[in-house]
Structure 1
Amino acid sequence: MEVEKCDTDNKSRTKVYDEINVFGKYQSRLCLMLLLSTIPNSFTTFQFLAIHYTPQFRCNVINGTYYGPANDYNNSNSVNSRLMNTCNFDNITGLTLVNETNAYNNTEQHHEDMSTNMVCTDWTFMGNETSAVTEFGMICNNKWQKPFSVSMYMFGKLVGGVMGGLISDKFGRKPTFLVFSAWQYLTTFVTSFSPNMSSYSAMMFLTGCGGLVNYVAAVLLGTEVVAPKKRSMVYVYISVGYSIGCMLIAPLAFFILNWRWFLRTIGFVGLLYIPYIWLLDESPLWLLAVGKNDEAKKVLNKIAKCNKVQSSVSKDESSEMLVETDDSIGLWPTCKLIARTPTLLKRLAIVGLSWFTCSGSYYTISLDIGSLSGNRFLNILLLGVAEFVATGLFFVAWKRWGNRNSYLIFMSASAVVFAIRPLLKMSSIAALQVAVVIVGRLFITTSFCVIFVYTGELFPTAVRNICMGFSSGMSRFGSMLAPFIIYAGHQTNSIAVPLCIAVFVLLTSSLYIFLPKTEKTQLPQTVQEALEMKSGGLSCHLKKQKTKTSKENFPDP
C-alpha cells in the first residue's frame, strides 16, 4: 500500500515504481491470467447447487403392499401421489400390512379401526440424475446431513483463510497460489470417490481449506504489481472471472448429471493451469519484504521491459524502494490499539457484523436457489448473471452514492426481498418468485463488493490488514450458518425464518449511519487521520464525534 514519503529520494523511488507498474501490457496479461484462474473457485463454492440436487422421490412400499386410505386401495395413482416426497405415512384400516423383516411368515394381518404411522426407510428417486443426496440418502431423518456437509466446507474456508495469510507471507504469493490451487482441484477430484457420508464431509472440509487461500493469493499477486490508482482494475478482473464461473455451473450441471463425474470434471480443469508455473512471477513487493532484492530487481525490470518503460531498477534502489511501505504492526499491538480507541472499536464491531450478515444472506439466498419453481438450470444461470451485473452496479453506485450509502441502500433492499419472499410462494407466478430472488442476490452481491472496499477505508495502515482478516473471519461464520438457516426454513415451512432474517439484515445495515463517508478522502495512514473521519449520521452525533476525536488523540505506533 502506498505511504506518503517524506524525503525526496523516497519520492523518486516511489515514482520509478509507479512508472514501472502502470497498468500496461504486463499487468493486462497478469489480470487476464488471474481472471481465468478464479473461474473454478466459483465451481467449488457453488458445487452444491449441482451435487446436492434433491429430485422427487417415492417411498418404496413393502413387498408391493400399498398404504393409505382404504378407498385408495384400487387407485394406484392416488396411492403413488400420497407416497411421493414423503417421509412417513399412515397405514389405515382395510389395507394389508406385511412385515418388512418377514416376521409374520408373509401372513396377512388385518387391523380394524386402527391407524399406524409408518416411517419410510427406502425410496426410489425419479429421473436419471444422481447426486450426493440420492447416494447417501440425505433426506427425511438424514436431511440434516445436507447442511452439515456444506458447513464443513465453509469451516474449511475459515481455517484456510486464517492459515493462508501466514503461509502467503512466509513462502510467497506465487507458491501459495499454485499449491492451494492444486490442493483445490485434487481434493475436489478425490471427493468424487467418497464411499460414505463421513468421508464425504471430511473431504468437503479439506476442499474448503484451499478454496479461499488461492483466491486471496491471486488478489495479492495482482494488486502488488499495479500502481495504487489502478488496483481497482485487479478486483474487476477477478470478480468477472468469479462471475463467469457462476454462469458456467449451469451448463456443467446440465450436461454432467452424475455428481461424481461433475466433481471429477472440476478436478481435470486444474490441468489447464499447469503452465502458470512458468507464466507467473513472484510479487516484487514480497521479494523486497523478505530481502530477495536480486530477484525483485529481475521481476521489476521484466515488468518495465514488457510495458516498454525506460525506467530501470538497480539493486540498491530495489532494496530501498518499498521497505517503508510496510507499516503494519503485530496482532497483539493491534488489539491493544483498537481496545483503547473506542471509535475504531465501534467501527470494527459494526463492520464485522456487516460481513457476518452479508455473507450469511449471500449464501442463504444462493444455495437455496434449487427450491425455486421453474427450470433449475436456468435459475442457476441467472444467479451467475446477477453476480456479473453486480460488479458493474457496484461501480455505478459507488460513484453516485459512495460506499457507505450504497451498502445502506442495497442491504435494506435485500431485507425487503427476504420479507416478501414467503408471500410470493403463495403466488402461482413462478417467474415472479425467481425474479425477486435473483434481484435479491444482485443487491447482496453488490453489498459484498462495497464492504470489501469500504472496510479498508475505515482503518489506519497499521491495523488495516488485521481488521480485514477479522472481518473475513466473521463472514466465514455467516456462511457456516447459512445452510442451517435454509434447513430451518424448509423444516418449519413458516414465514418466521425469512422475516427474522429480514429484520436482522435491516437492523445491522442501519448501523452504518454511524460510520463515516469515505468518498473523496485519502486512505487514513495514521490513527489520528482515521479518527478525524466524521460520521455521516445525525447532527447531534457529529458533535459527539468531534468530542471523541479530541479525546482519542493517541500516538500512532
Structure 2
Amino acid sequence: MGADDETVCAFRMEDHIKTKLVSAIHLQEMELQVKPQTFTVEQAVETIGFGRFHILLFVIMGSANIVEAMEIMLLAIVSPEIRCEWHLDDWQVALVSTMVFLGFMLCGVLGGYISDRYGRWKVVFGGFVWSAFFSLLTSFAPSYGWFIFLRSLVGCGVAGVSQGFVLKTEFIPAKHRAFLLPLASIFWMIGSILIIILGMLLVPTLGWRWMIRLSVTPSVILIFLFKFIPESARYNVSAGNIKAAVKTLEKIAKMNKTCLPPGRLAEPVVRERGNWRILLSSSFRRTSLLLWYTWFVASFTYYGSVLGSSELLEKNLLCVTDADREHQIKHRHEDGLCYCIPFAMSDYQTLLISSLGEVALIPLNIGLLNIFGRKMALTVLQLLSAIFFMMLNICTTMFGFTVILFLLRSLVSMNFNVVYIYTAEVYPTVARSLGMGFCTSFSRIGGMIAPFIAQVLMSQSVIQALSPFAVACVVCAVGNFLLPIETKGRALRVRNQTRFFHFLKTISLV
C-alpha cells in the first residue's frame, strides 16, 4: 500500500470517527428530548434552602411543643392540689399521670397510621382541637374518677399534636436539621415555664381549675395559626398527589425568594404506606427494637425527673443541710399521711430554674449532633443522665440541689430531643409517622411507669426510687451505641434503597 493510500485510509477513519461522534451527540440530544429533566422532593427542599417559610414553620410548629409541655408539666403542678382536695394516696396521684400516658400510647400508633395514610396536617390539627376541648373539660371534673378519665383523653389529643414534629422535619433541609430541631427545646421550656407561672399566680388565689382553663389558651391560638402550614410535600408525593406537592413547593420557594430545580417533580407512588411490617423488615428490625427501648427510657427518665423533683419538693424528702422552716415539714406523721402540703413559693422557683435547664445546654447538644453524630450523642447523654440521677441522693444545700436538678433536666431533655431527630431521619417517608407513632407509644409506657417510681416508691426510699432511672440510662447507652444506622447529614428518604423496595413489592402481594 502506497503513501497516498494510507493517507486516504486515515482520512476515511477520521471521517468515520467524526460521524460516530456526531451520531452519539445527536442520539444524546434525542434522549434528553424524550426524557425531560426531573427532580425529587428531597432535591427541591435542598435547592429551596432555608428562608422565611422555615421561620414561620419553626415558630408555629415549635409552638406545638408549648401545648405539649404545658399539658405534661401541669401534672407536676396540680398533684399537690388534687391530693389535698380528694384526699388521695400516692398510687392514686401516680395513676393520674399514668392514665394521661395511656391515652397518649393508644392514640400514638393510631395517629401515626392515620398520618401516613391520610396526611400529617389532619392529625396535628385534630390533636390541637381535641386536647384543648378535653383539657378545658378537665377543669370542671366533679370527682377524681372524672379527672383521670378526662386527662387520658387529653393525652390522646397530645399524641396527635406530637406528629407535628414529623411535619416540621420533612420541610427542613438536611444541613439545617441538626441546628433547628434542637432549638425546638426553647418552646418546650416556654410551655413548662408558662404552666409553672400560672400555678404560682393562680393556684394560691383562684385554684387549680382556673389554672387549667387559662392553660388552654395556646392551643386555641394555634388552631387558627395552623392554617398557614401546608400538608407535607413528601407525604403528597408518596400518596401520588404530585400536583399538590408541586403547589406547596412553589409556594415555599416564592416565600424564600428562590426557585425549584429545573424540570418536573417525579417520584414513584408508594401504595404500602403506614404498614407496620416495614418497621420490622430486615432493613429496620434492629433499629426499631433498639429505638423502642430508647424511647421508653427517654420518657421514663424525663418524666421521672419532672415528677420526682415535684415529689421531693412537695413531701420535703430532700437531704438538705440548710432546710428552711417550710421544708422541715414532712409528709409522713405518726398519725398517718399529711395530704395538704402545697408548693411554697420557693418550690415554684426551683421548678422554674430547673425548666430553664432544658435549653441551657442547647449549644452542647448542637455540637454533639454535628461533630459526633446522633448515635454517640445519645450514648453520652444517657451516661451523664445516669450519673446525675444518683447525685440527687447526695446531701447538699438547696442551691446544690437546684444546680443538680438543673443539669439533670438539661440532659434528659437533650436526650429526648436527639431521639426525636434520629427517629424522623432514620425511617423513610412511607413509614415515618407510623415509626414515630410506635416509638412515642413505647415512650408512653415509660411515662406510665415513671409516676409509680417517682411518686410512690420515692415516699419509701429516695435511693431505691432513683436507682431504676440510673440503671435504665446505662443499659440504654449501650443500646444506642449498637444502633446500626448513623443519620448525620443523611437525606430523608422516601424508600430505603433497593432491598427495601423489594420488601414493599413482597408485602403488597401478601
- TM-score, structure 1 length as denominator? 0.69
Identify the residue that residue 191 of structure 1 maps to in structure 2. Answer: 138
Task: Work out the number of aligned pairs and report it.
Answer: 436
Structure 1: give runs of 5+ residues left out of the alignment. 1-6, 55-130, 531-552
Give me the whole-angstrom Cα distance separating, in 2, the residues matched to 1:202 and 1:438.
Answer: 32
Give me the whole-angstrom Cα distance separating, in 2, the residues matched to 1:305 and 1:199.
Answer: 49
For the residue of structure 2 that corresponds to 1:368, the secondary structure is helix
Determine if contact 2:169/2:424 at 8 Å carries over to the other structure. Answer: no
Query: Which range moves more in the overlay, 456-465 or 182-191?
Result: 456-465
Closer, same or farther in 2 for the Cα pair 1:417/1:9, shift >3 Å? farther
The equivalent position to 1:280 in structure 2, one of 209, 223, 229, is 229
Per-residue CA deviations over 1:114-171 (Å, capped at 9, x if unaligned) read: xxxxxxxxxxxxxxxxx22222212xxx331100011000111112211112232344
Determine if contact 2:65/2:184 at 8 Å carries over to the other structure. Answer: yes
Structure 2: give runs of 5+ residues left out of the alignment. 1-33, 319-326, 328-345, 505-510
Note the C-alpha offset of 1:457: 5.9
Identify the residue that residue 397 of structure 1 maps to in structure 2. Answer: 368
Is 1:247 the counterpart of 2:187? The answer is no
Give me the whole-angstrom Cα distance separating, in 2, the residues matched to 1:176 and 1:456.
Answer: 17
Determine if contact 2:300/2:469 at 8 Å carries over to the other structure. Answer: no
Identify the residue that residue 458 of structure 2 maps to in structure 1. Answer: 490
Give me the whole-angstrom Cα distance separating, in 1, the residues matched to 2:380 and 2:296.
Answer: 18
Is 1:155 the counterpart of 2:102? The answer is yes
Report 1:135-154 matches (<5 A): 135-138=85-88, 142-154=89-101
Counterpart residue type for residue 364 of structure 2: L
Closer, same or farther in 2 for the Cα pair 1:51/1:346, shift >3 Å? same
Counterpart residue type for residue 507 of structure 1: V
Determine if contact 2:44/2:261 at 8 Å carries over to the other structure. Answer: no
Counterpart residue type for residue 366 of structure 1: V
Is 1:261 the counterpart of 2:207? The answer is no
Note the C-alpha offset of 1:333: 5.4
Give me the whole-angstrom Cα distance separating, in 1, the residues matched to 2:42 and 2:91.
Answer: 57
Give me the whole-angstrom Cα distance separating, in 1, the residues matched to 2:249 and 2:489.
Answer: 30
Is 1:412 the counterpart of 2:389? The answer is no
Give me the whole-angstrom Cα distance separating, in 1, the residues matched to 2:406 and 2:261.
Answer: 50
Is 1:214 the counterpart of 2:161? The answer is yes
Closer, same or farther in 2 for the Cα pair 1:190/1:461, shift >3 Å? closer
Closer, same or farther in 2 for the Cα pair 1:462/1:199, shift >3 Å? closer
Note the C-alpha offset of 1:478: 0.6
The equivalent position to 2:173 in structure 1, one of 203, 221, 227, is 227
Give me the whole-angstrom Cα distance separating, in 2, the residues matched to 1:255 and 1:521.
Answer: 45
Note the C-alpha offset of 1:42: 0.8
Report 1:157-556 matches (<5 A): 157-216=104-163, 218-232=164-178, 235-236=181-182, 238-257=184-203, 258-276=207-225, 278-311=227-260, 317=264, 320-323=265-268, 330-332=275-277, 334-335=279-280, 337-338=281-282, 345-370=285-310, 371-372=312-313, 375-424=346-395, 427=396, 429-455=397-423, 466-516=434-484, 518=486, 522=490
Note the C-alpha offset of 1:44: 0.4
Closer, same or farther in 2 for the Cα pair 1:506/1:236, shift >3 Å? closer
Closer, same or farther in 2 for the Cα pair 1:203/1:12, shift >3 Å? closer
Kindly report the root-mean-square deviation, in angstroms, between the aligned alpha carbons of the 2 structures: 3.4
Give me the whole-angstrom Cα distance separating, in 2, the residues matched to 1:457 and 1:293.
Answer: 22
Counterpart residue type for residue 350 of structure 1: L
Counterpart residue type for residue 86 of structure 2: F
Per-residue CA deviations over 1:456-498 (Å, capped at 9, x if unaligned) read: 5666777666554433222111111000011333331252332
Note the C-alpha offset of 1:188: 0.8
Give me the whole-angstrom Cα distance separating, in 1, the residues matched to 2:381 and 2:287.
Answer: 20
Counterpart residue type for residue 276 of structure 2: L
Note the C-alpha offset of 1:232: 4.3
Note the C-alpha offset of 1:39: 1.5
Closer, same or farther in 2 for the Cα pair 1:16/1:332, shift >3 Å? closer
Counterpart residue type for residue 331 of structure 1: W
Per-residue CA deviations over 1:274-293 (Å, capped at 9, x if unaligned) read: 43254333333333444444
For the residue of structure 1 that corresponds to 2:392, the secondary structure is helix
Identify the residue that residue 54 of structure 2 maps to in structure 1. Answer: 27
Closer, same or farther in 2 for the Cα pair 1:485/1:529, shift >3 Å? farther
Closer, same or farther in 2 for the Cα pair 1:326/1:450, shift >3 Å? farther
Closer, same or farther in 2 for the Cα pair 1:312/1:460, shift >3 Å? closer
